[in-house]
Amino acid sequence: MASIEDTVLEILRGKATANPEALTLESPLEEAGIDSLSLIEIIFELEDAFDITVPDPSTVEERANGMKTAGDVVTLVNGLLAEKESGTAGA
């Protein structure tokens, strides 16, 4: 089974328009050609891949704007998975 980091990087590389194979957890998303619209699409892909939900749809854009690196995306996924496991997702 792929790790969270590997799955996130695979999804991000699928949306990157600039040198996707060089994308790492420290890579700035902007330098990979991932803009805020792409990040919103990525969030929906992450929801499907990890069976998680961004609790308030109105926060999707806000969360996307807060993600500057691939590592930030992993942090978001880990946080949503923790919420899901503790039963606080969507609360």
pTM to 2 decimal places? 0.83
Instruction: With cut-offs at 50, 70 and 90, classify the pLDDT of residue 1.
Output: low
- DSSP SS3 for 14: helix
**Tokens representing residue 53 in the block:** 């939900």
**Tokens representing residue 90 in the block:** 């969507």
The partner residues of 69 in beta bridges, in order of sequence, read 28
Radius of gyration of the chain (CA): 12
Homologous superfamily (CATH) of 4-86 is: ACP-like (1.10.1200.10)
Residue 27: is its pLDDT beyond 70? Answer: yes
The whole-number pLDDT of residue 70 equals 93
Instruction: With cut-offs at 50, 70 and 90, classify the pLDDT of residue 52.
Output: very high
Residue with tokens 């700035």: 28
- DSSP SS3 for 28: strand
